Structure 1
Amino acid sequence: MKPSQTNISGRSDACLAAVVLLAGSVIAAYYLRALWTFDEKGFSILSGGLPYWDFSNLWAGARMALDGHVAYLFDVDAYRMTLRTLFSPDLPNQEWSYPPSILLLGAPLAALPIFPAYLVWTFGTVFCLWLAIRPLRLGRIAGLAVVLSPAVVMNAIFGQNGALTTALLIGGLVAAPGRPVLAGMMFGLLTIKPHLGILVPFCLLASGNWRAILAASATTFAIAAITALFFGFAVWPQFFAETRTLMTGIMEAPYPQPYHSNAITVFFTARAAGFGLAAAYGLQTVMSVAAIAAVTWLWLPGRETEHRERVVLTAVLAILATPYGYTYDTISVAVVVAFLFMATARPPRAILGIFWVYAFFAHILNNAGFSFGVLVPLSLAAWMLASIWARGRIRQLPREPSIAHRKPHTAS
């Protein structure tokens, strides 16, 4: 791998990129059309519910909080009843699943009607993603391949926050060496989905970036305090007592559940393979520890690795480190694919194309019993780590002295 090379190597690469982008655009158009086509109840024929899907939780939850009913978020029955009052009496069951701090983002959006709020959220978070990947210098084509990737489209279809969390993770990692305070602030904001930031403390500790650690800690504390001041100090105890318990129950529910169709972690793969909870947690722990060891090694001072390569590798390892992740959380896979396609002298183009488009087909394969989506980030991470290790080994090999510096042979 030659990280400094950032141009498509030939016409065949450009043609393949164009074909993959076109195919992705056609599939995206199909899904988006189905999302905004409604049945006789007014529900999306794709989701079976609101076309805003998960965003309706953020919008409605913030609306309840602004109306003085924040306690509804931690009472499943009251929450569902209020959702049906706001949207439709036939609305399928939904749950509040976020830390209370995300209400600081949801409250301004809840001041708008839900459709324009959804548009602001979707395009605004994708814009944040675009800003975050600009320092990676991927080039226009690769940057376009990221912001229009199947993972981003699935994120928009679900109304999820994957574009925002990926932007915060990658943006913070990029900024960490030169702008540690800014990086720490981004990591503090990432606590709206804390399980995606498992590796961040180990990166900062390995690199000795104490300013970023302090900034992240201060930002996290400030966000928690501001949330409590606006919405009541009871929100945090209620979150840990009710929401965290509810989401743990959802994660540990017998396999399969409808939402497992988009799952993409070691934990869910183990459950799909028939492992019990203890074994699935055990396998996930092994993978999480391996990811922690990898980023610790990667971020130690003196490692001869280009910073942007370290950033994108850490971002894809973050998917492997968490037990709770879905296709809309895999935008970092698209970033890694784009980086490898542009930065590798002879990339395995077909494989990278399959990995880029995989988010569109994960649910089909999962429902068919082929729950091996975790192999996508695992393969990318293994390839990059092996390449970095091999380059380091080559640099450490002793070099033969040149002919000009060899001692002349003299006969005794």
Structure 2
Amino acid sequence: MKNEAASVSRKRSVEVIFRGFSMKARRRTDVHRACTVTRTGIAASARGSGTAPPHWLDERRLRLYPLAALICYVILAMGLIVRRTALHQPDVPPLALDFLPFWSASYLGLHGHALDAYDVVKLTRIETVVEPYMRDLNGIMPWLYPPTMLLLVLPLGWLPYWMAYGVFAIAALLLFVRVVRKIAPWPQAIWPILGFPGIALVLVAGQAACLTAGLAGLSLWLLRRHAGWAGVCAGLLFAKPHLAILFPLAFLCCHAWRALAACLATLLATWLLSLVAFGPDTLLAFLHGVQAAQGTIAEGQAYLFRMPTVFIMARMMHAPIWVAYALHAVAALAAVAVVANAWCKPCAYPLRAAALVTASLLISPYLYDYDMVWLGLVIAWLCVHGVAHGWQVGEREWLVVLWVAPLLGLVVVDFVGFQFLPFVTLTTLVGIHLKIRSGAQAVLAPPIGEATS
């Protein structure tokens, strides 16, 4: 009897051990399957299921079209350089002209003349020494950023102009690309990111939009992992306040108290540090400069075709200033309402993030086309949601529209005389809001601040 009992016990032990190995193997298989789906999400959705036909935007096109765009960017840039340096055509502007105020302001700040950065006459003197083209420019290149932005770019003044631009552009580009890759980690995503026209526009203009977009995307990516650091990124984003004001609202709506506290603390610290470093008069000079620029834009004395806002759309249609402001206020309030709804109610986190980024482009009446690089974040978040929950008809085609939108705004708007980009942004936000309302295959967003892998 004892031998039989021992034999039965050994058999049961062996069965338990094999059952454990089998369960572990199944778990490993499930994890491997999940990772495979994540890595090949875009390609799989392009191929279609067994019942649905393959989508035209397959893996080959995701690689081919952006690569062709990259080649075109290089050819155009080289053409501009040759025309300016070898052929000496004076009407060809230099690349990265908008970087002049950044470097000139940082140079003045380093030499104890930060207040002069807000003096157009004194700033233009520095800009003309750096770039003689400024003598023939029919206009000015003022410094219209708060002292906090001057604090961020101050180290650039230690470097020669073109070296400073190279460091600035590469660092901002790497930040933006890295953040978008974190959001959309599929191997196939790298070519659409690198070929994104918004990046090319920022680099040619010499602007800081890749930096602001990188900070915004990093803040949203960190929010569910390290809420405090997410708040720090959002606080630094207030170097361009008109793009940042919805982030504290989102943190408040989802009760992300740690992120909200870190955001406000960073904002307060950077403002105090900049005012101590440069003096309180720089704040007054900044406000005065912004007011003057608003008047110039409202009167139509700027490149309105490069400003994708509801206000500018109305002004280009010859609406009175008060009507244009009223229409823009309605659009901005609607954007605030969409963000509040998305971040107060449970919904898929990628939709929350996409709503916040899209709405941020609708707040200020004075947005420029290079800020449309933020649409890269919207595309990434919507891809994450589409791969996870499936695509509705026309969604991927609309992502293509968003991808080319910065280029369309630069090339088409001036030609047709109508600023249509606000319709693109508004339509995107409406589509996100409808997906949130319908709850189509939505997954509840996990608690903010809780670490997730």
TM-score of Structure 1 vs Structure 2, range by shorter chain: 0.7 to 0.9
Letter in 1 for 2:66: L
* Cα deviation, residue 171, structure 1: 1.4
Matching residue's letter, 2:437 = W
More helix by share: 2
1:107 maps to 154
Secondary structure of residue in 2 paired with 1:250 = helix
Asked if residue 372 in structure 1 is aligned to residue 420 in structure 2, the reply is yes
Q: What stretches of structure 1 move > 6 A for 4+ residues in a row? A: 40-46
Aligned residues: 387
Deviations 1:212-246 (A, max 9, x none): 22211111111112112222232122222x22222
What is the aligned partner in structure 1 of residue 365 from structure 2? Answer: 323
Match status 1:356 vs 2:403? yes
1:25 counterpart (53, 56, 70): 70
When structure 1 is superposed on structure 2, of 132-141 and 92-101 the one drifting more is: 132-141
Match of 2:273 among 226, 229, 249: 226
Task: Find out whether 1:308 has 2:329 as its counterpart.
Answer: no
Deviation at 1:32, TM superposition (A): 2.0
3-state SS of 2:280 partner: coil
Residues 91/125 of structure 1: CA separation in 2 closer, same or farther (3 Å cut): farther
Is 1:59–2:103 an aligned residue pair? yes
Within 5 Å, give how 1:69-80 maps onto structure 2. 69-80=113-124
**Alignment partner of 1:361: what SS?**
helix
Q: CA deviation at 1:351?
A: 3.7
For 1:361 and 1:192, how far apart are their aligned partners in 2?
28
Amino acid at match of 2:347: E
Amino acid at match of 1:36: I
Judging changes above 3 Å, is the alpha-carbon distance between structure 1 residues 59 and 122 closer, same or farther for their aligned structure 2 residues? same
Deviation at 1:144, TM superposition (A): 3.6
CA–CA separation in structure 2 for the residues paired with 1:208 and 1:27: 46
- Residues 409 and 421, structure 2, Cα contact 8 Å, conserved in 1: yes
Distance in structure 2 (CA, Å) of the matches to 1:184 and 1:262: 31
Residue 336 of structure 1: which of 358, 378, 382 is its match? 378
Unpaired runs of 5+ residues, structure 2, are 1-36, 48-55, 444-453
**Distance in 1 between residues matched to 2:208 and 2:378, nearest whole Å:** 19
- Which of 148, 152, 157 pairs up with 2:199? 152
Matched, 1:87 2:134: no
Q: Pick from 273, 276, 289 the counterpart of residue 243 of structure 1.
A: 289
CA 1:119–1:40 in 2, change beyond 3 Å: closer, same or farther? closer
Question: Is residue 99–residue 193 contact of structure 1 (8 Å, CA) maintained in 2?
Answer: yes
Question: Does the residue aligned with 2:421 lie in a helix, a strand or coil?
Answer: coil
Equivalent in the alignment of 1:408: none
Matched, 1:10 2:46: yes
Q: Counterpart of 1:401?
A: none
Q: Which residue of 2 aligns with 1:403?
A: none
**Residue identity in the other structure for 1:56:** L
Alignment map for 1:182-201 (pairs within 5 Å): 182-201=229-248
Q: Indicate the structure whose relative CO is greater, using CA pairs within 8 Å and at least 6 residues apart.
A: 1
The residue type paired with residue 378 of structure 1 is L
Q: Deviation of residue 18 (structure 1)?
A: 2.9
Q: Deviations over 1:269-317 (max 9, x none)?
A: 111122121111111111111111111110115x132x23321231122
Could you tell me whether the CA contact under 8 Å between 1:291 and 1:317 is conserved in 2?
Answer: yes
Corresponding residue SS for 1:121: helix
**CA 1:382 to 1:114, structure 2 compared with 1: closer, same or farther past 3 Å?**
same
Q: Per the alignment, in what secondary structure is the counterpart of residue 439 of structure 2?
A: helix
Deviation of the 1:143 alpha carbon: 4.1
* TM-score where L is the length of structure 2: 0.78
Greater Cα radius of gyration, structure 1 or 2: 2
Give the drift of 1:33. 2.3
TM-score, normalised with respect to structure 1: 0.85
Alignment equivalent of 2:81, drawn from 28, 32, 36: 36
Residue 121 (1) aligns with residue 168 (2): yes
Unaligned 5+ residue runs, structure 1? 396-412
> Aligned in 2, Cα 1:367/1:325: closer, same or farther, shift over 3 Å?
same
- Report the more deviating stretch, 360-369 or 84-93: 84-93
CA contact (8 A) 2:97 2:205 kept: yes
* Sequence identity percentage: 25
